[in-house]
Amino acid sequence: MNVIGSRPTGWWHDRPGAMQQLVHELDVLQDPVTVVFDGRPFDVQDAGDIDVRFASRSGRNAADDDIADLVAAAADPTELTVVTSDRELVARVRAHGVEIMGAKQFRERLDHG
């Protein structure tokens, strides 16, 4: 959600639409991608090779907790990049040796190839 919220496009008027759009944009990346969304799960159309997940619970830091769990369970977390602008999540996953990329920087990468 940090990536979606990194620019004021009015995404909050159609949150599922913004999530769907992000998944389509992620499909151009060559690396395996997992995206974890907050909110009520829905069927994301044409997700391609993108691993789309929804937070396993509702509430504060729900998706962040799932992301931290994915990092901790990874065979080699140093091969992962976590995209977030949340300082607390950065602190939680950095201890595992992951690369961190800010949401705005990642958004620019998506927008400009």
Task: Give the model confidence (pLDDT) of 6-61 as tens digits.
Answer: 888 888 888 999 999 999 999 888 889 999 999 999 999 999 999 999 999 999 99
How open is the CA angle 90-96-102, to the nearest 5 degrees?
30
Unique residue bearing structure tokens 């300082």: 87
Structural domains for the chain: 4-112 (3.40.50)
Return d(Cα 62, Cα 55) in angstroms, integer: 6
Query: What is the reported pTM?
Result: 0.90
Task: Give the model confidence (pLDDT) of 48-58 as tens digits.
Answer: 999 999 999 99
Task: Give the model confidence (pLDDT) of 54-103 as tens digits.
Answer: 999 999 999 999 999 999 999 999 999 999 999 999 999 999 999 999 99
Q: Which tokens in the block code for residue 45?
A: 């159309």
